A and B are shown apart, each in its own frame.
Chain A
């Protein structure tokens, strides 16, 4: 039980990589990338979790109460913003790819072979 979150995170990372490698559609590739990033959230948040602890919001709990780690929460917040924006950028590129190549299949993107 104590390793489960990290095991799930590892699984997500690998499953996301598989999604990118095997995908036949750029949108699916981009979403698989999102899955890989979810793995990083799990690891970060899992690292900071403390049993029987509150959220680090002291508005209504005494200051001496035990709280989970606020630092990893900030790291994950940053992480989420990064992911959202890079996904937006990639989706914009996918829109243009569809216009230029007429297809979203990575195998049909043939402008850059050696």
Chain B
């Protein structure tokens, strides 16, 4: 279809679909008027049953942990897909750009930027670990913390040292971390099956709410997820950066 026809068709279609959508949304209760039973039950029992004060994490890693398992593997599968799609082909090589990449500088990357970038790295890692580990107490958890952890080595790249970043976060290691995190999370579920008879049932002691080692397996699950997310994001970063910075198409 040419562009005009396509837009004309879409114009009619979107008017209809928009009407349908709004008609449906109009039936929702007023914004701010939440009285749903599911959420109220969770806020009622979450702390007492699981000794976790962050109920979002409690839902994520315990009550609806199976959803998170699926989500973990979407992350895992997609990143695997990225590796698959950006894999090296015959005719492509990494060599020609290597020396450029070592001192790959962004426009105007000064010494100050480099120094700042490198200073940020330990701060990012520390914050990332803190957020992962405190997931069941305060807002945070494996996903959020994992992304911050991935930003650590990435800051090295931003400071202008791409090959240095690859030294800190080598391909094989981050892939291993990604896989270990994914398998680890599934194994935690299995642990529930083996130790207390139901897949994903919380099998570690619950501790005292508000303390670091509380809420049973949530800490462990957070760690597994944090490992996986940071690994996955670093794998994805590396793949894209390889394409942009290193790979030269053999045929030109």
Contact = CB atoms under 8 A, between A and B. Distances in A.
Interface of A: 1-7, 9-10, 13-14, 17-18, 21-22, 43, 46-51, 53, 55-59, 63, 67-74, 77-78, 81-82, 84-86, 88-89, 91-93, 95-96, 99, 107
B240 A91 contact: yes
B42 to A, nearest CB: 6
B47 A50 contact: no
B86 A6 contact: no
Contacts of B35: 50
Interface residues of B, number: 58
- Majority secondary structure, A binding face: helix
Contacts, number: 159
A2 B31 contact: yes
B236 A88 contact: yes
Q: Which 7 pairs from chain A and chain B are nearest by CB?
A: A69-B39, A85-B78, A2-B30, A51-B32, A50-B34, A59-B53, A56-B55
Given A47-B36, A96-B86, 12 more contacts: A13-B21, A43-B25, A46-B31, A56-B39, A56-B54, A57-B55, A58-B47, A59-B138, A74-B56, A77-B56, A78-B67, A81-B75
B67 A74 contact: yes
B79 A50 contact: no
A28 B32 CA distance: 34
12 contacts: A3-B30, A17-B17, A47-B34, A47-B36, A49-B32, A50-B33, A56-B54, A58-B55, A67-B39, A78-B67, A85-B77, A89-B78
Nearest to B77: A85
Contact of B78 (A43, A49, A67, A86): A86
Nearest to A55: B139
Interface in B25-58: 25-26, 28, 30-36, 38-39, 42-43, 46-48, 53-56, 58
Contacts of B55: 56-58, 67, 70
Nearest to B19: A10
A72 B48 CA distance: 21
Contacts of A51: 32-33
Given A57-B55, A92-B86, A6 B25 contact: yes
Contacts of A68: 34, 39
Given A21-B6, A58-B53, A95 B39 contact: no
Contacts of A77: 56, 60, 143
Given A51-B32, A85-B74, A92-B82, A10 B42 contact: no
Contact of B22 (A7, A55, A56, A95): A7
